[in-house]
Structure 1
């Protein structure tokens, strides 16, 4: 008998709980299936592999984090300029970063695995592709290709800082430092004009 499609969401929710509460090396396929109250075969059926499921859970967790940041930004006055929206996003990330350290660690592992595991890479690529325009929309960067590229750049900035902060709090930058540094970058490259 084939695993039921409804098992997919149960597996994802179970994996989210595992990633949030267990060291990665202890997250086995059996533990994931048990947490989701699903059969073991359904992991491969829906996610390709145990690592595929864990990676999908990491992507989903990061998506939910981004959604919560979006909710906080919805309270920002519509008349606020882009700099203020960016600052408020940095504040929201800074305030919630500690709560997402286990997901950040799992993300680093997934990136390393994705280099030689196509199932993991595909989950990550899908995540990056749909996150870029979402970040662009949240920050008012535009819905064209350049806006999406800008969303990818901002996402890479915050992801990189998140990964660095796992090594030491000294490497983390609070919201004011992030915005000040970004202004310096913008000032430095302002004379640049694309050939387009």
Structure 2
């Protein structure tokens, strides 16, 4: 690797061990084996280097999350969200570093735009393994909405796990809550149309007992 790559590797190591706010230029130099002047030469500033390291870490985080969802043997909310909550345990340091970076989005030039692009890629990545054949794979707007919905859940759950891991819901509890939510939406829709939802919850053709398809949340 060259100095630029070494600096990025060192910066990501510092993000994991020290976080975004506490990492200094000298920390990065010590972790990368590069010299202090190379930070300015390759990135312009420590903040710009850390911003790029955050984006790369964010991409790595998303790739791993996508892999977990792709490898789920049961394509249901239960299995997927159980895997996501377990994932937060191993990725807590980087999750915390990303939250610290978000707080700097208006202060570090270009960081907001970089994060926005990373979020857009995350929306599409989260939508891909969610059983979209049931809601129309060719409908780009719907695909993006489903990805945005699940990204909002991932982001919110991540904050809960950072602040209150004991009180944060586990995968099974999230699945149960989503069943209640989907059932309430279906009943409200039926009432608005002058009809009534079938006894027992979701309408005909809805979620099977024992596992709600992830794509059902797009209704």
TM-score range, shorter chain: 0.7 to 0.9
TM-score normalised by L of structure 2: 0.71
Distance 1:90 1:47, change over 3 A: farther
Flag as ranges the 4+ runs of structure 1 deviating above 4 A. 44-48
Q: Higher relative contact order at CA 8 Å, sep ≥6: structure 1 or structure 2?
A: 2
Query: Residues 153-194 of structure 1, C-alpha deviation per residue, up to 9 Å, x if partnerless?
Result: 2112111111122111244110011112122222233429xx
Residue pairs, 1:35-184, within 5 angstroms = 35-44=31-40, 46-47=42-43, 49-77=45-73, 81=75, 84=76, 86-141=77-132, 142=137, 144-184=140-180
Determine the C-alpha separation between the residues in 2 that align with 1:153 and 1:39. Answer: 43
Distance (Å, rounded) in 1 between the aligned partners of 2:44 and 2:147: 29
Q: Tell me, yes or no, if the aligned pair for 1:55 and 1:107 is still in contact at 8 Å.
A: no
CA distance in 2, matches of 1:125, 1:88: 29
Using the alignment, how far apart are the partners of 1:155 and 1:184 within structure 2?
A: 20
Q: Which residue of 1 aligns with 2:196?
A: none
Partner residue in 1 for 2:204: none
Larger radius of gyration: 2
Aligned residues: 184
Q: Does 1:21 align with 2:12?
A: no
Higher helix share: 1
SS in 1 for 2:68: helix
Instruction: Identify the range of structure 1 (21-30 vs 106-115) with the bigger mean alpha-carbon deviation.
Output: 21-30
- Runs of 5+ unmatched residues, structure 1: none
C-alpha RMSD over aligned residues = 2.8
SS of the residue corresponding to residue 104 of structure 2 reads helix
SS in 2 for 1:114: coil
With over 3 angstroms needed to count, the CA separation of the structure-2 counterparts of 1:161 and 1:48, relative to structure 1, is farther
Q: Could you tell me how far apart the structure 1 residues matched to 2:40 and 2:147 are?
A: 32
